[in-house]
């Protein structure tokens, strides 16, 4: 640091003396090279720069005063100029180039100019005023008349096309029904048929049976039992006093004298072990009911599956396994089974429409007696019909149904017990 101070003092002393022409010593040359001054010190410079003025020994730099031009006062406003109008920029002389800032200013919009100070004035834009057309400016009456004629002619053409279209598709204006929305349609309620007495219902059924064949009189009973909780449901069999009138094909499995007795009683198919082998080989038996003796039922195990699938397997409870051949075959046409379906309804045939009214009444009485015998034990009511039989209808095969009163059915069942069972 001390060496650098000595070099700087020597340089100042050398530069302060104007009358020397000696070259700089090497130390001062090196110091000048390291100095930040851009003006080199050369011995061969013919026009050396003037020497710097002497500085104080304290090292402070003298401050030169700076003077600025006086700002001119605002001139008075020109005549007709509002105080809030933006001043117009001075026009530049020809040959001068516009600066980028001025180019950007010339593209300013009116909204941008509101927040700027020195911007060029924006000239107002005037639009032509709108005026309603005067009567003399309208088209003459002749042109309007021609336009009305063209419109009228086009209207007639459209109506003609519509008429032709309606003729093609056969759609008339009178057939079109314009209904308001929403349209309320009254629901037609079916009138309930009055409940009839049993004899009156039988007369109505016989009068409605008008087909070419002898129609079957059917009974349909709605039970007040839940089919899902009834287990096996309501089922049973009955013997109609006057028969059902249905042609039944019967097969009787018997041997020896019982086989001859079955043929004499009118059985359609009679046989023993040979009939069992025939059914086992052919896997079919075209009959409506099967009977068997007590000895043959033990030898029919080979065809038990075939007969059970068709509901023809003989059963002691149903009376189809017996040695009394003649009595069993005499009851074939009169013996009928019934069973409740999934909807808790029992359907059964009780005779033909050609039967008399008394015969039909006795057959219906026999069915009601068997239906009461098949009543489940869990139903305990004050009356034997209450809670068990909900409704009872009779009809022909192709005819309408007629409701029957429970009181008349009870009387028919009591009459059947007195006449046929006691």
> Does residue 60 or residue 31 have the better pLDDT?
60
Helical packing angle, 2-16 and 26-34, nearest 10°: 100
User: What mean pLDDT is predicted for residues 24-44?
Assistant: 50
First-to-last CA distance in the chain?
158
Residue 312, classed as helix, strand or coil, is coil
Confidence class of residue 40 from pLDDT cuts 50, 70 and 90? very low
User: Do the domains at 192-246+334-422 and 248-332 have one common CATH topology?
Assistant: no
Which of 99-103, 279-283, 393-397 shows the lowest per-residue confidence on average (mean pLDDT)? 99-103
Q: Which residues of 364-400 are buried (b: 16+ CB within 10 A; e: fewer)?
A: bbbbbbbbeebbeeeeeeeeebeebbeebbbbbeebe
> Does residue 115 or residue 253 have the better pLDDT?
253
- Report the pLDDT value the prediction gives residue 286, as an integer from 0 to 100: 86
- Write out 123-178 in H/E/C secondary structure: CCCCCCCCCCCCHHHCCCHHHHHHHHHHHHHHHHHHHHHHHHHHHHHCCCHHHCCC
- Residue 404: pLDDT over 90: yes
> Does residue 35 or residue 282 have the better pLDDT?
282
> Does residue 379 or residue 45 have the better pLDDT?
379
222: nearest Cα among 378, 338, 347: 347
Report strand pairing: 250-253 vs 269-271. Answer: parallel
- Residue 70: pLDDT over 60: yes
User: What mean pLDDT is predicted for residues 150-156?
Assistant: 89
| Residue pointed to by tokens 């008429």 | 163
- Report the pLDDT value the prediction gives residue 205, as an integer from 0 to 100: 94
Distance separating alpha carbons of residues 192 and 187, to the nearest angstrom: 15
375: nearest Cα among 219, 244, 198, 230: 230
Q: How many CA atoms lie within 13 A of 334 on its CB side?
A: 16
For domain 192-246+334-422, give its CATH number from 3.30.190.20, 3.30.930.10, 2.60.40.150, 3.40.50.970. 3.30.190.20
E-state strands within 27-113: none
Q: Which helix (H) or strand (E) holds 372?
A: helix 357-373
- Residue 18: pLDDT over 80: no
250: nearest Cα among 237, 263, 236, 235: 263
Confidence class of residue 42 from pLDDT cuts 50, 70 and 90? very low
Mean of all residue pLDDT scores within the chain:
75
CB-based contact 205:217 (threshold 8 Å): yes
Distance separating alpha carbons of residues 50 and 62, to the nearest angstrom: 17
208: nearest Cα among 357, 396, 351: 396
Confidence class of residue 15 from pLDDT cuts 50, 70 and 90? low
Residues of the chain above pLDDT 90, percent: 18
Q: Would you call 409 exposed, middle or buried from its count of C-beta atoms within 10 A (0-12, 13-18, 19+)?
A: buried
Output the pTM of the full model. 0.48
- Residue 315: pLDDT over 50: yes
User: What mean pLDDT is predicted for residues 355-365?
Assistant: 92
Contacts 24+ apart (CB under 8 A), 266-271: 266/329, 267/291, 267/325, 267/329
Report strand pairing: 389-395 vs 216-223. Answer: antiparallel
The pLDDT tens digits for 330-350 are 777 777 888 888 888 999 999
- Residue 131: pLDDT over 80: no
Distance separating alpha carbons of residues 43 and 77, to the nearest angstrom: 65
CA distances from 232 to 196, 344, 378, 386 (A): 32, 12, 14, 21
The pLDDT tens digits for 43-68 are 444 454 545 555 544 456 677 777 77
- Report the pLDDT value the prediction gives residue 262, as an integer from 0 to 100: 87
Backbone angles phi, psi at 118, to 5 degrees: -105, 95
Q: Which residues pair with 339 in a beta bridge?
A: 235
Confidence class of residue 418 from pLDDT cuts 50, 70 and 90? confident
Q: Which CATH class is domain 248-332?
A: alpha beta
Backbone angles phi, psi at 269, to 5 degrees: -130, 125
Angle among Cα 278, 283, 284 to the nearest 5 degrees reads 90
- Report the pLDDT value the prediction gives residue 405, as an integer from 0 to 100: 93
Domain ranges of the chain: 192-246+334-422, 248-332
219: nearest Cα among 207, 202, 232: 202
What are 239's two structure tokens?
């013997």
- Report the pLDDT value the prediction gives residue 310, as an integer from 0 to 100: 86
């Amino acid at each position: 640091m001390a060496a650098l101070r000595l070099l700087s003092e020597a340089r100042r002393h050398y530069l302060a003396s104007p009358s020397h022409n000696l070259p700089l010593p090497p130390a001062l040359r090196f110091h000048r090279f390291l100095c930040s001054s851009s003006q080199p010190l050369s011995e061969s410079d013919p026009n050396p720069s003037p020497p710097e003025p002497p500085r104080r020994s304290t090292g402070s730099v003298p401050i030169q005063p700076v003077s600025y031009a006086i700002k001119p006062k605002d001139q008075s406003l020109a005549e007709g100029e509002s105080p809030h109008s933006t001043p117009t920029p001075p026009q530049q002389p020809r040959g001068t180039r516009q600066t980028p800032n001025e180019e950007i200013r010339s593209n300013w919009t009116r909204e941008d100019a509101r927040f700027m100070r020195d911007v060029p004035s924006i000239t107002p834009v005037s639009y032509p005023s709108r005026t309603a057309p005067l009567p003399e400016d309208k088209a003459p009456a002749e042109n309007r008349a021609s336009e009305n004629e063209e419109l009228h002619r086009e209207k007639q053409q459209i109506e003609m096309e519509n008429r032709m279209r309606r003729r093609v598709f056969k759609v008339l204006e009178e057939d079109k029904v314009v209904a308001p929305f929403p349209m309320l349609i009254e629901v037609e309620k079916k009138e309930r048929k009055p409940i009839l007495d049993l004899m009156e219902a039988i007369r109505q059924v016989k009068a409605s049976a008008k087909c070419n064949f002898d129609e079957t009189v059917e009974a349909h009973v709605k039970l007040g039992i839940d089919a899902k909780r009834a287990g096996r449901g309501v089922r049973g069999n009955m013997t109609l006093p006057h028969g059902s009138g249905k042609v039944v094909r019967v097969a009787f499995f018997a041997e020896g004298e019982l086989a001859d007795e079955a043929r004499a009683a009118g059985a359609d198919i009679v046989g023993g072990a040979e009939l069992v082998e025939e059914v086992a080989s052919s896997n079919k038996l075209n009959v409506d009911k099967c009977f068997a003796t007590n000895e043959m039922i033990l030898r029919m195990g080979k065809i038990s599956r075939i007969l059970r699938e068709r509901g023809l397997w003989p059963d002691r409870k149903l009376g189809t396994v017996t040695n009394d051949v003649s009595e069993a075959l005499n009851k074939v046409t009169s013996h009928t089974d019934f069973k409740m379906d999934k909807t808790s309804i029992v359907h059964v045939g009780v005779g033909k429409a050609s039967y008399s009214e008394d015969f039909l009444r006795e057959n219906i009485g026999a069915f009601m007696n068997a239906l009461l015998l098949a009543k489940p034990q869990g139903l305990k009511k004050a009356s034997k019909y209450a809670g068990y039989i909900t409704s009872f209808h009779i009809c022909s095969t192709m005819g309408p149904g007629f409701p029957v009163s429970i009181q008349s059915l009870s009387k028919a069942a009591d009459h059947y017990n007195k006449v046929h069972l006691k």
